[in-house]
Amino acid sequence: MFTVRVPATIANLGPGFDSFGMAVSLYNCFAFQQAERDGLVFSLDGAADVSALQKASDSDDQGVGKNLLFVAMDRMFEKAGQARPPLEVRVTADIPVARGLGSSSTAIVAGLVAANYLLNLRYELSDLLDLAVAMEGHPDNVAPALLGGVVLYDERPYRLPWPLEWRVLTVSPGYEVLTEEARRILPASVPMADGIFNLRKASVLTYALLQADPDAFRASLQDRLHQPYRRRLIAEYDAIERLVMADGALGMIISGSGSTMAIFYPTVIHAFLLEKLQGLIAAQGWSMTVNDLTVDTEGAQLVASALKIS
């Protein structure tokens, strides 16, 4: 019938804990087809660990059950007061699971977009976003996944520009950091000085994006609320950060709750930085996936099933 494509997301952006997020050009695609009963099929074409994605779905023996995709669709149909038709969904997943790139958010967003399409686009994007935030519990993944671009969320989304001359490298280790574990490691309270520090840095981050100011952006990515704790879960973090910052990167952060690291850099050093990073990974014998990405400005997209998704 149709396909929904949803981008990966980098949440927090350093100091913007649970508030800032950006969509990037790595995707999960969900192909929906009418069926006699619900079904969920994972394509082997995707680069993600399919077994991990199936496990993460918390599904029953038929692959449906509590899967976020079907839960999201059901929430939308319940809101409309209608019964959802049975659907088979084929998932082509290129976003690694439990690596801090918003894989679970893609399922929520895809389910809501698909359900709204089946309901003849009854609801506005703002309605879908409200449901997505309620399901996810925090907005920094679902908002950019749905809307695209860089988003600051405070009761409603605020769109921020991304300079065209800046790019993103994501580095995903071969091991997971589950969101529950990454939240459990955080302190229940923080000193007032740390809260003020992050308030200032998040404000500078907003300024840096609005002005495309690389010096301000570099200064803004420091954080005292979550990264000092979560970086302990990523053994390679310090070595990679030293390398990329010495080689001209604008900054490096933990993507979401990890274990993925996001490196921001000016396009002019693209080949040099990528070569140095891959050299370090090879020399250390680390198992890592490096993705060279741009910012996705479109967010979740509904496309005809006959079209090939690149």
Q: What digits encode the pLDDT tens for the residues 199-233? A: 999 999 999 999 999 999 999 999 999 999 998 88
3-state SS string for 252-278: EEECCCCCCEEEEEEHHHHHHHHHHHH
Q: What digits encode the pLDDT tens for the residues 120-169? A: 999 999 999 999 999 998 899 999 999 999 999 999 999 999 999 999 99
Q: What digits encode the pLDDT tens for the residues 2-18? A: 999 999 999 999 999 99
CB 6 within 8 A of CB 28: yes
Domains of the chain: 2-159+295-304 (3.30.230.10), 162-293 (3.30.70.890)
**Cα–Cα distance between 33 and 295 in angstroms, integer?**
30
Helix residue ranges per DSSP H, the chain: 50-56, 68-80, 103-118, 125-136, 142-147, 179-184, 192-211, 214-220, 227-230, 237-246, 270-284
Residue indicated by tokens 């609005």: 210
**Cα–Cα distance between 292 and 3 in angstroms, integer?**
24
